[in-house]
Amino acid sequence: MKDEYIPVVTEVADIRTETPPGDRMIRTLRVQKEGKAPFAHLPGQCAMISAFGRGEAMISIACPPNGEYLEFSILLQGAVTTDLQYLEKGEKIALRGPYGNSFPVDEWKGRRVIVVGGGIGIAPLRSVYGHVVRHPADYAGLDIFYGARDSQSIIYKQELFDLLEKRKANVHLSIDRPEPGWNHFVGFVAANLTRAAPSPQNAVAITCGPPIHITVTLDVLKKLGFSEDQVYTTLERKMKCGFGKCGRCNIGEVYTCVKGPVFSLARLRRLLPEGLPDK
Amino acid sequence: MSAIRVPASRMEKALAETGWRVMVPSGAGRKGGYVELRAGGRLPRECGDHTKPSTPPKGLVFPNNEELLSYVLGVKGEIEVGPASHTMARTVLYGTPPCDTASFRALDSALLKDMAEPGYAGKRGLLGVIGMACSRAGRWCFCTSVGLSPRSNIGADLMVYPDGDDLLVERVSDRLDGLWKRLEAGAAGADEKALRAVEGKFVPRVLNFVFEAEKLADALEKAFGSPYWKEFSERCVSCGICTFLCPTCHCFDITDVAKDELSGKRLRTWDTCQFPEFTGETSAHNPRKERWARQRQRVLHKFLYHPRNHGHMMCTGCGRCIRYCPVDINIAEGVMRLGGSK
Amino acid sequence: MRDYRSESARLREIVSGLLERGEVELVVAWTEGEDRPRTRETLIGKGREDLLRKVVWSPFCTTSTVTFLKKNKAALAGKRLGVVVKDCDLQALNVLLQEHFLKREDLVIIGVRCDGLAEADLFPRPEGAEVPITSDGGGVTVGKQRRAWEDSGFTTCLTCSYEDMKPDHVVGEYGRKKGKPEWGHLARLQALEPGKRREHYAALFESCIRCYACREVCPVCACVECAIDPGERAITPRTAPSVKACAPVWACRERSVSENAVYLLTRTMHMAGRCVRCGWCERACPVGLPLMEILDLSNDAVRRVYRYEVGRDPADPPFLASYAETDPDDKGAGH
């Protein structure tokens, strides 16, 4: 029988420093096992990454399925992520997964995908927009709304500017406060979304970010006429086991690590009010 | 044949012949526990609230402390992971009251269904449970309110009903067939009628409250936003007694214990929804930071979520959480207020 | 002989008077629970006749209203409160007042003079509301059931010597001579040869299941974040990652003699001069650990060697914050 607790040992194939060193440092680790992805995954799924002696952390997989590698964008936050920030290219990293459900990207074929990310919340959404970019013929279009507190905190910068330049997606970037040289939107992501007012017709919207970001985004999408089954989010909960046993990540009878973290708003409403983000 | 009548001494002999480890309830109340029967020791001849230890039998297959893996790191960043064995000596649990016996149904469905929890799965496969009909209900017992009774065999592999110097033994599953065959050889059969006759001596205590699983789940779902949760838990001190002593509670923590900079182990330990940090995320966000939200989680996990997922209540009415709660929080009282029926 | 029905009636008068006159917003008092003679701490506001009717004082008021204040500190902040306390609760309250955890001016203290406590579960459930609960110098009686004090489950009460209650209101008169602290059990343990002593304590530490009931029920264990083994962390969304990553781990989650010892012994050290010997931790312990035996290691030094009386008066300096030239030195402490 497979021992679910035993992680697979992989190698850090590449590291991108997304934001400058400091308390909010984000690095993207690319991991491979023998030159390939250590396991197959679906957009929106997560993996449990080990920092031995410190513990494990559930991190969303921040790249579309490609068979070649997995990527994780890791925000410096606590003990595990502090250790992970010291990893260097070529070193080993242990992880297990994939865990959780995924965004139903196959169901969405033929529709326009609208991504609304705040802060580090863009990471799980990248697995979706990356998938749409890889299969442009399957989807009616791609909008990416993404904001961070300042221009330094914007991650995937090069990739997003490339998408914008090559017109592979409508990228709407924003930062919270004005900065010299910033010629995109200034204000919260929700305000940017209100301004652009994408049509709900033949579209799905996905959002992730801090609880307040999700709450406000859901309000805006509702005002724009999106119905609750057109809106998806991916939730964060404290997780230890990752496969529905340890008992802490539940929303009602649903364990987020198994039947989440991806929920349509309609499904979230059917669960108990506990599932809705804090006001 | 699914039931036989044997002298109690024969059970003792047959169990000894198997060479299996035998665990029995020993010592009632706070000082008690399920302990190994010494060679030549007597098996308990009766069970009831007066023989029930404060700690339930779950720790046998779900220990408070379980190693999940060990690791050795190299100075150049190499990682070596050693799996844990998750095994134990072949064990029979003998003489558990029906509340503790039935706890294995809840634990099995929570920890083995879909993806099995490796630690529990490994040990559970080596455990047989011989339940015993209960002859004395206690002050806090409410098994008859949760669909069990002093004579129910749910969770048992063999069920024994003491009858004078004899035992009526009922075969409930095939897990202990090795023992069953030893007992059966030359033993008098007991037909359905004889079984019912002895069983009938273990009279269920009639309580004035009954929890009907489905109705209760619906009622509790409606009561999710009830202000009563605050009243129910205002004196809660957030200790782990109600859940650590619960025979069905199975939530756990996973933490690393470093031996030195380069080696250590990963441990699974009991955890509880009552500790504030249970759901505390590293970012400081905590979806259940209030005590009432945590008590609500405990009650709903038992009477709403687990029933929805597995079809039975995650409570066996053993009464430990009420008896040992230092501030007199009474789950039966709370459930009655929010959705029980008289 | 003390009649707790009439003392409870007197207590109800005081509590309802304070609420009626608006002298306090809320009162923390014991009420009768579903499972009499058990009682429970309850928060009572004006107009809650349903709760007021159940207010009770008896030797079965074994929980601490001060623990209730500790647990509900945030919710009760800034409110003027009445609090019903027995002798050991008042000592604990004084410790918290000495340490500025609570403010005296926010509280109206209603003292109930206590002759000792009794374990409710040792008595049969009284049928009907009118069963008298009485006590005298020898023991407690509920209806027809009588138990001697020595037999009522509360060893710490037998050696309680506190009788300096200075509350704002008081109910009852002592009906029994107060005891004297006794340290014979420690002398017996300390007389054991080191190997045997080690065995004794190792067996004790090994049984701990780390449910933390001892810490959580303790009226004076009031740190927001327990330094030894935090069940709750004092962090906010603004706490720096380095602070969270470098939080010391004194006792890890492992249930082992050494880790459990770190938890239990460090707690004992932190209780020096704070433990009021109410004994609730020991009674709450679900695996029956003799926790007072450990706590008394520091209680003995504080009381016998340094002659410090814990929680005697809110104006006293805390034990660890007081110094006198006449303090005995380490050798005198005997440890």
Q: Is residue A240 part of a domain?
A: no
Q: Are A120 and A225 part of one and the same domain?
A: yes
> C89 with C66: CB under 8 angstroms?
yes
Quote the pLDDT of residue C330: 58
Tokens of A273: 């009010």
The per-residue pLDDT of chain A, averaged, comes to 94
B71 touching C, CB under 8 A?
no
Confidence of residue A221 (pLDDT cuts 50, 70, 90): very high
**Structure confidence by residue, pLDDT tens digits, C142-179:** 988 999 999 998 989 999 999 888 899 999 999 999 88
How large is the ipTM? 0.93
Q: Are A91 and A161 part of one and the same domain?
A: no
pLDDT < 50 regions, chain C: 334-335
B269 touching C, CB under 8 A?
yes
Pick among A1, A2, A3 to test the B interface (most B CBs inside 10 A): A3
State how far the Cα of C239 lies from the Cα of C225, in Å rounded to an integer: 14
**Structure confidence by residue, pLDDT tens digits, A111-126:** 999 999 999 999 999 9
State how far the Cα of A136 lies from the Cα of B221, in Å rounded to an integer: 44
3-state secondary structure C18-66: HHHCCCCCEEEEEEECCCCCCEEEEEEECCCHHHHCCECCCCCCCCCHH
Quote the pLDDT of residue A275: 63
- Region A25-39: mean pLDDT is 97
DSSP state, residue B302: I
Comparing CA positions, the residue from C1, C6, C303, C314 lying closest to residue C160 is: C303
B254 touching A, CB under 8 A?
yes
Q: Is residue A258 part of a domain?
A: no
Residues of A in contact with B290 (CB under 8 A): none
Q: Is residue A171 part of a domain?
A: yes
Contact yes or no for A77 and C244 at CB 8 A: yes
Tokens of A278: 């804090």
Residues of chain C in Cβ contact (below 8 Å) with chain A = 240-242, 244-245, 247
Residues of C in contact with A83 (CB under 8 A): 245
Quick one: how far is CA C288 from the chain centroid? 17
Q: How far apart are the first and last CA of chain B?
A: 39
Domains in chain A, number: 2
Provide the whole-model pTM.
Answer: 0.95
- pLDDT at B7 exceeding the cut of 70: yes
Q: Dihedral of the CA atoms B264, B268, B269, B272 (nearest 10)? A: 130
Counting every residue written for chain B, the total comes to 342
> C299 with C268: CB under 8 angstroms?
no
Q: Are A147 and A193 part of one and the same domain?
A: yes
B333 touching C, CB under 8 A?
yes
Size of interface A-B (CB pairs under 8 A): 124
Give the one of C240, C241, C247 whose C-beta lies nearest to A81's C-beta: C241
Give the one of C216, C232, C286 whose C-beta lies nearest to B324's C-beta: C286
Quote the pLDDT of residue A271: 82
Q: What are the beta bridge partners of residue A116?
A: A145, A207
Confidence of residue B31 (pLDDT cuts 50, 70, 90): confident
**Distance (Å) from the C-alpha of residue A251 to the closest C-alpha of chain B?**
9
Q: Are A88 and A127 part of one and the same domain?
A: no
Angle between helices C291-300 and C194-207 (to 10 degrees): 130
User: One-letter amino acid identity for A208?
Assistant: C
Contact yes or no for B238 and C39 at CB 8 A: no
Contact yes or no for B54 and C232 at CB 8 A: no
φ, ψ at C262 (rounded to 5°): -60, -45
A81 touching C, CB under 8 A?
yes
Q: Is residue A271 part of a domain?
A: no
State how far the Cα of B271 lies from the Cα of A81, in Å rounded to an integer: 23
State how far the Cα of B237 lies from the Cα of B279, in Å rounded to an integer: 17
Contact yes or no for C245 and A82 at CB 8 A: yes
**Residues in contact with A38: Cβ distance below 8 Å, sequence separation at least 6, in sequence order:** A8, A10, A31, A32, A70, A95
Comparing CA positions, the residue from B300, B301, B275, B271 lying closest to residue B288 is: B275
Give the one of B291, B327, B330 whose C-beta lies nearest to C35's C-beta: B330
- Closest Cα in chain B to A4: B118
B70 touching C, CB under 8 A?
no
Size of interface A-C (CB pairs under 8 A): 18
Q: Is residue A18 part of a domain?
A: yes
> A239 with A257: CB under 8 angstroms?
yes
Tokens of B251: 């939530």
Q: Are A66 and A156 part of one and the same domain?
A: no
Q: Is residue A243 part of a domain?
A: no
DSSP state, residue A265: H
φ, ψ at A263 (rounded to 5°): -135, 140
**Structure confidence by residue, pLDDT tens digits, A244-261:** 999 999 999 999 999 999
**Structure confidence by residue, pLDDT tens digits, C250-281:** 899 999 999 999 999 999 999 999 999 999 99
Comparing CA positions, the residue from B282, B94, B277 lying closest to residue C239 is: B282
Q: Is residue A256 part of a domain?
A: no
Return the half-sphere exposure (C-beta side, CA atoms, 13 A cut-off) of residue C16: 16
**Structure confidence by residue, pLDDT tens digits, B48-94:** 999 999 999 999 999 999 999 999 999 888 999 999 999 999 999 99
Return the half-sphere exposure (C-beta side, CA atoms, 13 A cut-off) of residue C224: 6
Q: Are A140 and A50 part of one and the same domain?
A: no
Contact yes or no for A23 and C242 at CB 8 A: yes
Q: Are A95 and A129 part of one and the same domain?
A: no
State how far the Cα of A144 lies from the Cα of A162, in Å rounded to an integer: 13
Chains touching B (3+ CB pairs < 8 Å):
A, C
**Structure confidence by residue, pLDDT tens digits, B121-147:** 999 999 999 999 999 999 999 999 999
Classify residue B44 by burial, with Cβ atoms within 10 Å: 0-12, 13-18, 19+: middle
**Structure confidence by residue, pLDDT tens digits, A54-87:** 999 999 999 999 999 999 999 999 999 999 999 9
**Distance (Å) from the C-alpha of residue C306 to the closest C-alpha of chain A?**
43
Quote the pLDDT of residue A279: 43
- pLDDT at A209 exceeding the cut of 50: yes
CATH of the domain at A167: 3.40.50.80
CATH of the domain at A70: 2.40.30.10
Lowest mean pLDDT among A89-98, B37-46, B116-125: B37-46
Q: Are A125 and A229 part of one and the same domain?
A: yes
Domain of A95 in residue numbering reads as 8-99
Residues of A in contact with B71 (CB under 8 A): 52-53
Residues of A in contact with B253 (CB under 8 A): 240, 246
A211 touching C, CB under 8 A?
no
Q: Dihedral of the CA atoms B3, B4, B10, B14 (nearest 10)? A: -40
Contact yes or no for C242 and A79 at CB 8 A: no
> A12 with A31: CB under 8 angstroms?
yes
Q: How many CB atoms are closer than 10 A to CB B46?
A: 14
Residues of C in contact with B326 (CB under 8 A): 63, 213, 217, 280, 283-284
Contact yes or no for B255 and C236 at CB 8 A: no
Pick among A24, A238, A278 to test the B interface (most B CBs inside 10 A): A238
Comparing CA positions, the residue from A136, A7, B328 lying closest to residue C119 is: B328
State how far the Cα of C49 lies from the Cα of C293, in Å rounded to an integer: 43
Q: Which residues of B297-312 are buried (b: 16+ CB within 10 A; e: fewer)?
A: bbbbbbbbbbbbbbeb
**Structure confidence by residue, pLDDT tens digits, C276-298:** 999 999 999 999 999 999 999 89
Place of tokens 């991190």: A59
Q: Are A151 and A193 part of one and the same domain?
A: yes
Q: Are A89 and A202 part of one and the same domain?
A: no
Pick among A19, A27, A76 to test the C interface (most C CBs inside 10 A): A76
> C274 with C227: CB under 8 angstroms?
no
C288 φ/ψ sector (left φ>0, alpha ψ -120 to 50, else beta) = left
The per-residue pLDDT of chain B, averaged, comes to 93
Q: Are A47 and A130 part of one and the same domain?
A: no
Q: CA dist A202 to A106, A171, A214, B6, B215, Å?
A: 14, 19, 22, 73, 41
Q: Is residue A13 part of a domain?
A: yes
